[in-house]
Amino acid sequence: MRDIDLYYHLLGLEKPWSVARVELDPGSQRVDIWVDHPRGEKWPCPECGKPGNLHDHAEERTWRHLDSCQFQTFLHARPPRMKCSRHGVRRVRLPWAEPHARFTLLFEGFAIDVLLHTSIQAARRILRVSWDEAYHLMERAVTRGLRRKGCKTIPVIGVDEKSVGKGQRNYVTVVSDLGRSTVEEVIVGRSSRSLETYFQQLTPQQRDTIEAVSMDMSSAYISAVEKTWPEDGRDKIVFDRFHVMKQLGDAVDKVRRQEHKALLRAGSSLLTGTRYIWLYARENLPEKYWNRFFRLTGVYRDSPFLTKKLQEFS
């Protein structure tokens, strides 16, 4: 089999495209392939599909393809431009790559599989691409996913902040569909404007179908919901259980510390080492703490001093 026939099948080409020539450079471990088409070919309009005559060619472009026997493989072509009676001159859609892509569809598909299963740094070494090229591949994959997602309604959404990078200086706002357990949007920042940006891109119908917004107690997120639904925004806000329980746990621990100090001044170390006993829900309390917990609750119930302290804190 000739090399041009071999690469015709490896590239998955179909007529009218054919391999014009192949150049192999063993020194740089690179294969370059030029593809062409016969004269007089009619091309479908990318807008309406109606066939039209060739108008001219754009400048030659290069696409990275899957490696051939560990040699980096590059495809070259001059994209045809056809003339449509309705839409005028348009660049023909190429079967091996999407518009404005720097890689063939087969390479992009393989690269995304690699990126999904490893870090960007490891993927770069496997694919032999730069940081910019890796991010270009991921951005295109996200764009394709968003196109497929379409316009859907989300009755219950979750909103949370997440730190990115090193330290606690950079944050993003993560919006999730709690019913489907999917991430819907990641927005830079954690301000009111960050969440408002997400709401503003929804259609009026999508906004109307949102029944609840689960969030922490961030004043910025509360403000964003109230601005989006001025009349009933507060009715849509649901503080998520994690943050509610955290606030409750902090309150319980604050009372414990206050009582512990008061008891120490009175000469009692009764609450020493009991922090986590009070933070457990009664039904989740480990068996090893049962005796001490019930002894402590009994002391509180029977002690006039502790009863008085409880009344002061209540």
The pLDDT assigned to 265 comes to: 87
Query: What's the Cα-to-Cα distance from 220 to each of 37, 45, 168, 209, rounded to whole Å?
Result: 58, 49, 18, 22
211 & 140 share domain: no
The pLDDT assigned to 267 comes to: 85
Per the DSSP assignment, residues forming a β-bridge with 214 are: 158, 238
The pLDDT assigned to 69 comes to: 85
Give the number of other CB atoms < 10 A from CB of residue 54.
16
89 & 105 share domain: no
* Model confidence, pTM: 0.59
Q: Give the end of a domain, one of 239, 274, 293.
A: 239
Residue ranges, the chain, pLDDT below 50: 310, 313-314
CATH of the domain at 226: 3.30.420
Could you tell me the residue range of the domain that residue 42 belongs to? Answer: 1-96
The pLDDT assigned to 271 comes to: 85
Q: Give the end of a domain, one of 194, 209, 239.
A: 239
The pLDDT assigned to 314 comes to: 46
The pLDDT assigned to 313 comes to: 44
Q: Give the end of a domain, one of 220, 239, 258.
A: 239
- Number of structural domains the chain divides into: 4
pLDDT in tens, 277-293: 888 877 788 888 888 88
112 & 79 share domain: no
Residues 6+ apart with CB under 8 A from 172: 161, 162, 164, 186, 187, 188, 189, 190
> Measuring CA to CA, which residue among 168, 130, 137, 7 is closest to residue 77?
7
pLDDT in tens, 130-148: 999 999 999 888 888 877 7
DSSP character for 177? E
